[in-house]
Structure 1
Amino acid sequence: MELGEDVVADVIKRLRRAQGQVGGLIQMMENGRDCKDVIIQLAAVSRALDRAGFKLIASGLEQCVTDDSEQGVANRAQLEKLFLTLA
């Protein structure tokens, strides 16, 4: 599977965001923040990682399901949305 530069850039952006959120979570834990706040932030990190993974998978699926009769173009947004419904 060969990923386009736009996909790689988007996934890296999402992963960096998640990395920052994890750092924030560590500080929250060290500072004794409220459990509810920590859980909310943890859920946000989880969603960010899921979206990065889904983006990669959707891009791979696009290559697998591209229909030659449509000049080799699949709608990545539709594939990603479809895959997200399964999560």
Structure 2
Amino acid sequence: MLEIHRHASHPDLVKRLKRASGHLRHVVEMIESGRPCAETAVQLQAVERAITAAKRTLIHDHIDHCLGRGDDQDIADLRALAKLL
């Protein structure tokens, strides 16, 4: 059975990602309705920044709370995470 893995930051991350999801749906509507590309690009950049911030928070939280054993697995995890930042 898979162990549930939660941190204090996860509820806030879920809220942020749901908000970003709503904004992304709005961007799709903007494209479908023919809104100007510049306006659409600004909104799309906002979505991208929100997702990037959420990813960074998740990774930093993982580093702070899940790593620290100092073993080879921690080093492998850090290398994998560094590619995502």
- Looking at structure 1, the residues matched to 19 and 46 of structure 2 have their Cα atoms a distance apart, in angstroms, of 10
Pick the aligned partner of 2:15 from 13, 24, 28.
Answer: 13
Match of 1:38 in 2: 40
* TM-score after normalising by structure 1: 0.67
| Stretches of 4+ aligned residues off by more than 2 angstroms | none
Could you tell me which residue of structure 2 aligns to residue 3 of structure 1? 6
Q: Structure 1: how far apart are the matches of 2:54 and 2:16?
A: 6
Deviations 1:7-62 (A, max 9, x none): 11011011101100111001100110011100000100101111111111010110
Aligned residues with identical type, % of pairs: 33
Whether contact under 8 Å (1:3, 1:59) holds in the other structure is: no
Q: CA deviation at 1:3?
A: 3.0
Match of 1:52 in 2: 54
State the TM-score, normalized to the length of structure 2. 0.69
Q: Which structure carries more helix by proportion?
A: 1
Alignment partner of 2:24: what SS?
Answer: helix
User: Structure 1: 5+ residue runs without aligned partners?
Assistant: 66-86
Gapped regions of structure 2 (runs ≥ 5): 69-84
CA distance in 1, matches of 2:11, 2:43: 24
